[in-house]
Amino acid sequence: MTKMLVTGGAGFIGSNFVHYTVKHKPEYDITVIDKLTYAGNRAN
């Protein structure tokens, strides 16, 4: 299993990257870290 750490995953680019990766590489184990400043959104 491939492990991936994504920083900034609650922003626009990071969240789209994670959604794309989950859809196309479901075997990846993805961990997302984000500081959640003004640009971050928990809903992403």
> Quick check: 43 and 17 in contact, CB under 8 A?
no
Which pLDDT tens digit goes with each residue over 14-41?
Answer: 999 999 999 999 999 999 999 888 766 7
Q: Residue 42 pLDDT > 90, yes or no?
A: no
Is 41 among the domain residues?
no
Residue 42 placed within a domain = no
Number of domains the chain contains: 1
- Please check whether residue 40 lies inside any domain of the structure: no
Query: Which pLDDT score is estimated for 43?
Result: 75
> pTM for the full model?
0.80
The residue range of the domain holding 15 is 3-33
Note the pLDDT of residue 25: 97
Residue 25 lies in a domain: yes
Residue 28 lies in a domain: yes
- For 1-44, strand residue ranges (E) read 3-7, 29-33
In a domain, 18, yes or no: yes
